[in-house]
Each structure stands twice: as C-alpha cells, then as structure tokens.
Structure 1
Amino acid sequence: MKRSKIIMGMLLLAMLVGMALIPSAMASAEEQQPNLTKDAAQLKIEALEAELGEEGMKEVADYLELQASLPDIVKVMPYRALAFAGTQEESRSVTFKYIDGFNVSEKEKDRYKAGIKDIWDRYPDKITKDDYEFMSEIGPMLVNESLKSYEPVSVKWLSTPHQDYADYACDGSSYRNYAKNAADDPDNGVMDPEPFYRYYNHYEDGLLHIGGAPGRCDEFANSAISAANSGNWATAHQRFGYSSHYLTDPGIPFHSAGVIRQGGQYVWNSYETTYHSIYENYVNNQWTSGYKFKDYVQYNTQSITVTDPEEAVEDNAEHSRQYFDYIWTEMYNDPQNFGSDIYVAYYTAQCVQQCARYAHGLYDYIM
C-alpha cells in the first residue's frame, strides 16, 4: 500500500513538473517560430542590421522619421537632396569646396554660399516655393562640380538584376527562361522610344504619382493573363518578364524621386542621369560580389500580394523614394567611393528585397 502511494506520488509530481514546463516550452517554441518563417534573404538583412548596431539602427530610424515628416513643398523641391545634405557637417564642407571651384567671381561664390546656408538653416520646416529658383540654379552647378573627376557610365539598370527578378519569381517554372530573357527588353530603346518614353515609362514618382511605369506594368500583366488563359504559357511568361521590368524599375530611388522640373515641365531625359548611372553601376557591381545584392532575390521566398499592378508599382515607388536623399548625398560627397558606405548598402538591400517580393506577387497575380 505504501509502495502504491509512493508511486502515485511520484507520478503526480512528474505531472506537475511537466505542466510547469509546458508554458516554458511553448514560449520557447513561440520565440523560435519567427525564425522558421524567415528566408535567407531576410536573415541577411538582419545580419546587416547587426553590423550597423543599435546606434546605427537609431540613425536609420531617425532618417526615416525625417523623411516621413517632410512637408510636400520640400519633397518636390528641385535638388531636394541638396537641402538634406546640410544635415551633415561633411556635406556642408564639401559643398563650400565645390562652390570654391565654380568659375565665377568671388562675390558670386559668397552669394552661393550664403544662399545654400540659408536653405540649410531653414530646412525642413521653413522652405518655400521662393527657394525653388535658387535650388534650380545652384543644383546643376554643384552636381557638375562633384563629377569633374568621375567618368560617366551608361544609363540603365543593367540586365542581370531585371532578369533575376523575373527568373526567381517564377518559382522554378519550366517556362521561366521566357520571362528571364524578356525582362531586360524594355531597356532596348525600341519598346520605349528615345527620348521621352525611354525615361517616362520607367519612372513613377512616389509622391506625385507621375510616370508611365504603372500603366506599362498593367498593360503587359493583362497581356500575360490573356495568354495564360489561352494556355500559351511561353507568351504569358514573356509578357510577365516585360511587366516585371516596369514593376521593379521604380523600386530603386532614382526611378521614384529626383526628376528635374524646369519651367513647369518635367525633364525626363535629364533626371539626375549621371548619379542615376553611377548608382545603378554600383548595384550591378555588387550584384554577385561585395554586398551580393542578388542574394536578396535568389533566396527570397516571400511575396507581396498584388491585386492591381498599377497600384503595386506606385507602392513600390513610395517605398524606394524614402532612401533617395541619403543615397544622393553620399554620392554627392564622394562619387568614387560612396559604395563603401554601409547605410547605402542597407537601403539598397531593402529596395532589392522589396522588388523581389513584388515580383513574386505579380507572378502569382498573373499565373
């Protein structure tokens, strides 16, 4: 009898201990669960965040908070990033050095220095439309000065990124090469003729919502759906490749912000073309080496649901444009070596990952 009581007591104790451990085990499982749903692309983003550290991520948060709070009058100001540049002491010094290189009188140099300092002192809450004329005047001069020792490169997002976005979005489909091979065709100068449509159709301003990319994305998405409904899978994937190009182009800041407005008109064939080229060359050079931006495409398994291709392009543009001011400023400070800046890499990785997720969503929408 005593032995039975002892056994029963031991069983009861074991049950109580087990019940006590269940919440802990459940909590542990819940803590680990998010890691089970993170793909390698997201883990790589988090590795960059760890490298930035707590202080670095606070700088990121502060920058994005500033971008979200900017008045519209600042967001549409010509050479708006030049005003943001004044928040960095390095950029102020660089700007005065550039002005010293202007081929103008000393009196004019003093006027330019006083004018830009006044802009910086009033940024961001006291900027007015009256400042636009001065920014339109000094902006091109400063950009030209910054690029005196830099050799320009061709203007396009080089083919490998576009092809990879389309290829990996197809989830291993046997028709994926049709999408991959078509994805860079919109840059051939034939589908979108020079000079106007070559730029307009590949742009979507994330604030003003001007640009032809949403319409082109929707046009080819509808064409792909029609082909898929007819069982013509090769054509469907080809048209998806075209459509994905117009979705992912505005996913980088130089396709979603920075278009130059002159005389009430938007000048599409000159919107920051040189900085635009330098940045896309940076992305291409770091696609499979260095920061390996391709990893955010190849190892992405997540998608952003697309129910309206035009709206998806607009949303992607809104996401990327918030990084424009910082990337532009780093290029302005040092066009040759800006690529060593980890914040540029982090913001670029965010854009590439977002594009990959949208491309997956577009494929699911069509197929």
Structure 2
Amino acid sequence: MSFPEPAPLQEADVVVLGGGAAGLMCAITAGQRGRRVVVLEGNERIGKKILISGGGRCNFTNTGAGPGNYLSGNPGFCRSALARYTPRHFLEFVERRGIAWHEKKLGQLFCDHSSKEIVDMLEAECAEAGVEIVLNGRATAVGREGSDFIVETRKGKWRCGALVVATGGLSIPKIGAEDFGYRVARHFKVPLTATRPGLVPLTSPDRTLHALSGLSLPVAMKGGGGRFEENLLFTHRGVSGPAVLQISSFWQPGEEIEVDLLPGMEAAKWLRAVQREPGGTTLRHVLATKFPRRLADAWADREGEWADRPINGLKGLFLDELGARLNRWMFRPDGTEGYAKAEVTLGGVDTGALSSKTFEAREVPGLFFIGEVVDVTGWLGGYNFQWAWASGHAAGESV
C-alpha cells in the first residue's frame, strides 16, 4: 500500500493568518517593501466582513478617528498606529482606485456603490505587490523551528520568519469567526484579556418593550462611562439601533443604562408649557406629538388614569416627575444577543505584551498581532476599519 507524500514545506518571509481588512493591509504594505508574503484565508473568499459591512456599502473609515474613539485596557496603545496611518491616508488609497464615496453622517465614509469595491481594491493591490493569497487555507497548527515559524494548513505547510495573526475576533461566526488567534497567543504564552461581544443589541425580559418592536426614535444614552446621541430601535428581544450598539461596548452586566427620550429638551418645562395652553388636550395626545403612537400609548398606559385626563387639570408636581422620567428612563438589560449579532469582539491579545509601534510580541520575536484580535475596539461608524488599516500598515512596515 502506498501513501501520498507529504506536501513540501513552502517558504515565505511573512505569513499572514487572515484575509480581512487588517491582514490584507499588512500584506500589501509588506509586499510593497519587497517581502515575500503569503496570506492564508480560511474562507472561500477574502474580506467577508468587509463585504457585509455598512449595509453592503462598507463604512470604510471615519474622518474623526482618534484614540478617544477606542476602548482598551491600555487606552494609549492605539495612538502611535492611528497617528502614522490616518483616515486621510486610506481615503487617498480609495480615491487613487477611483472608488466613489460619500460622507453619511458624523464623519462616516461609505462607498457610493458596493463594499465589493474595497475588497477588489485590496485584492488588486496584493497582486501588484506580489502577495500570494491562499483561499480555504485555514491554519490548523502553528509551531516554532529555530527562529522560524511553521504554519500547517490543509493546503500545505509554510515556513516564515514573521507570522502575523489577523484572524479577527469571535463576532459573526456565520462568516467563519473563530478563536484561532487567541489559541496562537496562548500557545506562545502571550497574555489575553477577557473577551465579550461589542456593538451588540441588548436584551430585556420586559414584554412592553417587545410589543414596540420595529419602532425607532432619537435618544441620548448614558452608561458605563459612555454617552451617545443616536437612534434607538425596539426589537422583539429588547433594544438595538446605533445608540444601543455604541453603549453596549461600555455596558457591564447588571448595570442600568440611562435613556433620555427627549434629548436637548427639558421635558418637565415642555409639559408645563403645554399645560398652560387652552383646550382639553389629554396627556396621551400630548405624548403622541413627540413619540410614535405605539410608544406614546405604551407610556401613557403606564401612567394609569392620568393618561386620558386633560393635561391642564393635572398637578404640576406630577408633570415634573413625568418629565424627569422621560429625560431619565432607567433601563436594565439582562444580557446581549451575543457574538452572533455582535459587530466586534471586546478584549483579546493584551496590548501590554505588544509593541505599539510594530505590533510584535515583546517576548516572541517575529510574532505579530493586528486588528480585532488585539484588545482595541472602536466605536460604531468606521472606527474599527480604521484600526484595521492602521494596525495592519504598522505591522506591514515592520515584518
């Protein structure tokens, strides 16, 4: 009986694990420096997370991206990379390829047409830089042989002097997210911080909220040290929408979240002013002038018999208390919708173990971690893509 001969050991200067935003940027930057680079992508195509981002139009950066827009156990770690590769740098990249773009709001930049344009751009740049991309090449094991790394996949083995881990986090497992990057870190004794879902809808057992599913309104949310003015969306499981996704990265289990349902308005003063107007308008009708009808009715029902009485017959103290509740509705989630619905993963490779300039592990020469696998997480709105470009570029200049 004969057995197939093992695949030959292939050589590269740099092997990048993961063909997402950070990994491709690193590969392009290193390839342009003349390095022999191989990207091992576990899926059948590169850039899957890029393709589904921004509703299919890819919110590829944010013009205001800076250290204050990121969460990390070491808030200053991201400063160097973000300063050296800015949103302007990536925008020039996009414009050079003739990709039409627009600013949606709050500095968020999107493709006019399709996120596929960003993936095609990155793929073309890889080709021009001589980068080899291996699809369905998910790494199964990583080891050390002298000063080199050996990477095993179902497509063969590679030896390299520099290994870049750009495998992302645990969010959106349906597109191939897994914990391999964390396993590599553990194998080489690179410390990790605790991980949890970020930019994720929050859940609640309150059936009143579930009945409002589909309603959206602008709010201000505060919790865990974060504050955001964006839209809130009621869902059949709790709440979502940009404001909720943003605050979810700051929220800790058991904490309450403060929601201002009338941001920019002192609700008590507004109710008092309406009370002074002539006519017999009911409180229910007054609430419906500011909120969607279903929400106005749900809130009015909470007020009991007072809801359908003329507002000019209600006590001022009652209106003051109601106004305070509208400006400061305290909401306590019982959890999140988990990694399946999370846009990012909080936590990851401890930044204290990495160089903020090169992203090389301090105790493991030649081993680099970039992008979402690192304990740096951006706000919603293009910040995480900018982190991918900046961290990938920094590592690509160093490998």
Pair in the same fold by TM > 0.5: no
Say which structure, 1 or 2, has more relative contact order (CA 8 Å, 6+ apart).
2
Q: Which has the higher helix share?
A: 1
State the TM-score, normalized to the length of structure 1.
Answer: 0.26
Structure with the larger strand share: 2
Q: TM-score by structure 2 length?
A: 0.25
